Chain A
Amino acid sequence: MARTLADATRRVLGSRRRGDRAAAVPGADDTDAALVADLVEAIGADRVRADAAARYLASRDASIYKEGNAGPVCYPGSTSDVVECVKVATRHARAVSPRGAGTGLAGGAAPLGQPVVLSMTRMDRLLEIDLDNGVAWVQPGMVNLDLSRALAPHGVHYAPDPSSQAACTIGGNVANNSGGPHCLAYGVTSAHVLAVEVVMSDASVVTLGDLTAEPAGYDLRGAFVGSEGMCGIATAVAVRLTRNPPAVRTMLLSFDDVSDAATTVSAIIAAGIVPAAIEMMDQRCVTAVEDFAQAGYPRDAAAVLLVEVDGPAGGVAIAGERVADIARRNQAISVRTAADDDERARLWKGRKSAFGAVANVMPDYYLHDTVVPRTRLVEVLERIYEIVDRHDLIVLNVFHAGDGNLHPILAYDSRVPGTGERVQAAGREIIEMSLDMGGALTGEHGIGVEKREYMNRMFSAVDLDQQSRLRASFDPHCRMNPGKVLPSAHSCSDIGALRASDAAGVWG
């Protein structure tokens, strides 16, 4: 990092000596002066930054990947600003990488090869609430939770609720096909996006999907959602509005054995109950959360399940009782039902602050995201503890148990020599174990840079060739957020512009 800042400072000083148009933007890199000048001319000086601080911030996301390298950073205020930026970038033979809040955990928003970065955070307005069609049009920079707050007076909400929902943007959610606890019953982002206005790599503007149930042609919005910024830049999104359920019951089930909790999860699904959410936390996580958020979780439990059922009141009562029965049959030591909205909010606060709470345990953490068949949770958790013990590390488990979406958090101190290697090795084993169990590389965080080279482990060369055809159909010249998702052999040839160091793996 010290070196990056030193380089950046040199750039700042270098550019100040120049008297050309780029001087309007402090800190423009020498080599980028003409590019920056053109961007300024296209969208205005107040929407372009090339100083070291802006580039540094735009070079990273919330992952541990630190090798991102942003070119000039633009803050478009409209679709036409985005169009102009793409045109200028193309003229200068530079790629374009969009980003939202940068809360991504896989390096998807870490720009590779000094592209023009488009920070979409100023396009954060709610454009229209259309109750007759059950949709809202929003700009990509709108924060997920702000959207649900704005919808609240209408008795509807936006269902996908990632843990980062207080910060993450709808555009980022579209890029990652984000999930969240309530996606168990309601489905992930893809099921809640009806249409997307996209600026394509050739600077044309196309609306993928529409408000009809079955738009003509290929399901292009379906293909676009989850494409990690590599198929174009979303400038407006039509999201589905979900009716607020008439009744909700939130329960905290505690167990003195992790396996009993995992068995309970499988038993609930096997009984034909699809709760709105089933979240699991193990003891280390519960302790960290209690120290941090005082959610009222029992510290003596080996594991807790946070289960929510919703719908009409009668069914909620029945499903709630059935869930409680299943838990008791599986040796639950306590079954607590939230008595009111306050208690319910407190229980969820504990779950949603889990990642922040890790800071009280260790200074660094590496959060994994894999999926396994939900019937195999007992065995999978045993394997995770075994792997982590063997590498002499600490793990906190907090995850979407209902759909088998694991989030083991490896907590560590990067100042201790050799720790990084052990975290990396344990992480690799967890990923491989998940795949061996019939699982998937990622359930909601995406591939980004982090898991790019694992794609060969999950998919054959034929499979990856098909995926690269999808990408190339949208963006034939690989100008959009290049270098992500597909392993190097399947990436476009013309991303040679990427510097070799950028293409290195997560740990460099």
Chain B
Amino acid sequence: MTEFDEALTAFAAEVGTDGPVCVRGGGTRWSLGGEVAPGTREVQAPEGIVAFEPAEMTVRVRAGTPVAGLHEELAGDGQRTALPERAGGTVGGALMAGESSIACLGLGPVRDVLLQARYVCADGRIASAGAGTVKNVSGFDLCRLLVGSLGTLGLVGEVLLRTFPVGETERWVRLAGTDPGAVRSCYTAASVLWDSTDVWILLSGYAVDVDDDLSRLAALGACEDVDGPPELPPHRWACTPAEAAAFDARNGAAGPFVAEIGVGVVHASQPQPFRPVESGVVELNRRFKERFDPTGRLNPGRDPLRKP
């Protein structure tokens, strides 16, 4: 058990013990899961890196810290986290949205990033979940529950995140008119994006392995270096990897799209039609919300079942 730092206790005081409250991060995914109920008091999570330990491959950071700034700091030691970088997006926002980076294939999903969370509960007290180590199974896994919860179960103030080394070489390339399945042999692919015609690939790893994969890709057709991924349409569709790889014109309602191959997310021009959720899952979601936030004061109006 630890003494909480002042920034965290001040955040808890600001959240207080009653009345509806929501947290604003960078506002990049502000409407995810529904608009916040009118009249909800807005607070901000504290900002700043508390401790970066490159030899431990962890970083303790306050939730209001911009992800880009955090990654800039970590890059000094050749490391990063798996959190996605969005202009202005914060660490807390990325965790609460639970949407992985487009380099999820290489970095892993957001859900695996969180090692420890210190958060303000609905009753205004501060709870700590997880542990200060890279491995831990002490008790129930509240960290996994918090990721993607849109701040509806607790308001995260400070977290310990897993970091890892950035690949020695990182290169985006584009293959025109290629079947995305054909690039499966590339072991260094950290991202494979497909818009039904072209394939964009982020290769990340030791230079020698990236070069190997590049020659493998060159054998498939014209392969050119590009600055980065294509522009992603605004709506995120939840799909299985098989659905993403077979995504096509039949999904006319989706409009132009970019599919994350091997992951299952599709970025489409139109919102995803409602996907029915099992009634048992709906009931469990209701019970979690009721147990963790009996008065419904945390981010009222938001519902993770309504993502994406």
Q: Does A335 contact B (CB under 8 A)?
A: no
> B242 within 8 Å of A by Cβ?
yes
Among A146-154, A205-213, A356-364, the stretch in contact with B = A205-213
Which residue on B lies nearest to A185, using beta carbons?
Answer: B164
| Of A204, A216, A441, A446, the contact of B275 (CB 8 Å cutoff) | A216
Stretch with Cβ within 8 A of B (4 or more), from A35-43, A90-98, A452-460 = A452-460
* B86 on the A face (CB < 8 A): no
The listed residue (A130, A447, A460) touching B128 by CB distance below 8 A is A460
In the complex where A214-B100, A218-B288 touch, is A442 in contact with B137 (Cβ < 8 A)? yes
Interface string of B72-85 (1 = CB under 8 A from A): 00000111000000
Distance A438 CA – B277 CA, assembled complex (angstroms): 41
**Segment touching B, from A1-9, A52-60, A222-230, A299-307:** A222-230
* B219 in the interface (beta carbon within 8 A): no
A217 interface contact, C-beta 8 A:
yes
* Interface residues as binary, A166-177 with B (CB distance below 8 Å gives 1, 0 otherwise): 000000000011
CB contacts (< 8 Å) of A269 on chain B: these are 55-57
Interface residues of B in 278-299 (CB under 8 A from A): 278, 280-282, 284-285, 287-288, 291-292
Is B139 within 8 A of A459, CB to CB?
yes
Chain A residues, Cβ within 8 Å of B305: 216-217
Residues of B within 8 A of A183 (CB): 135
Minimum C-beta distance from B272 to chain A (A): 10
Q: Which bracket fits the contact residues of B? A: 35 or more
C-alpha gap A485/B241 in the complex (Å): 36
CA distance A375 to B55 in the complex (A): 7
Q: Is there a chain A Cβ closer than 8 Å to B90's Cβ?
A: no
Q: Count contacts on A: residues with CB < 8 A to the other chain.
A: 90
**CB-CB contacts below 8 Å: B61-100 with A:** 77-79, 98-100
Are B208's CB and A318's CB within 8 A?
A: yes
The complex places the Cα of A372 from the Cα of B56 at a distance, in Å, of: 11
- A444 contacts B148, CB within 8 Å? no
| B48 CB-CB contact with A under 8 Å | no
Q: How far is the CB of A263 from chain B (nearest CB, A)?
A: 11
Residue-wise, chain A 472-495 has the 8 Å CB interface mask toward B (1 for contact) of 111010000000011000000000
Asked if A485 and B139 sit within 8 Å, CB to CB, the answer is yes
Given A272-B165, A405-B135, are A458 and B277 also a contact pair (CB < 8 Å)?
no
Task: Name the distance in Å between B119's Cβ and chain A's nearest Cβ.
Answer: 9
Q: Is the CB of B132 within 8 A of A438?
A: yes
In the bound complex, CA of A243 to CA of B133 (Å): 27
For the complex, what is the distance from the CA of A457 to the CA of B139, rounded to whole Å? 12
Bound complex: CA of A471 vs CA of B308, how far in Å? 27
Known: A373-B133, A440-B131. A213 touches B263 (CB 8 A): yes
A218 close to B285 (CB less than 8 A)? yes
Chain B residue, CB-CB nearest to A405: B135
Known: A274-B164, A443-B135, A470-B145. A216 touches B238 (CB 8 A): yes
Q: Top 4 A-B pairs ranked by shortest CB distance?
A: A222-B144, A314-B208, A206-B280, A315-B206
Question: Could you name 17 residue pairs across A and B whose Cβ atoms are closer than 8 Å?
Answer: A190-B112, A200-B280, A212-B239, A213-B263, A214-B307, A215-B238, A219-B144, A222-B144, A272-B78, A274-B165, A312-B206, A371-B134, A374-B56, A403-B133, A404-B135, A462-B127, A470-B142
Enumerate chain A interface residues (CB-CB to B < 8 A).
130, 132-134, 176-177, 179, 183, 187-188, 190-191, 200, 204-208, 210-220, 222-223, 225-227, 243, 245-246, 266, 269-270, 272-274, 311-315, 318-319, 371-375, 400, 403-405, 438-447, 451, 455, 457-460, 462-467, 469-474, 476, 485-486
Q: A219-B147, A440-B138, A458-B131 are in contact. List 12 more A-B contacts (CB 8 A).
A: A133-B241, A188-B135, A207-B280, A213-B263, A214-B99, A214-B265, A219-B145, A400-B135, A440-B136, A447-B137, A464-B139, A465-B127
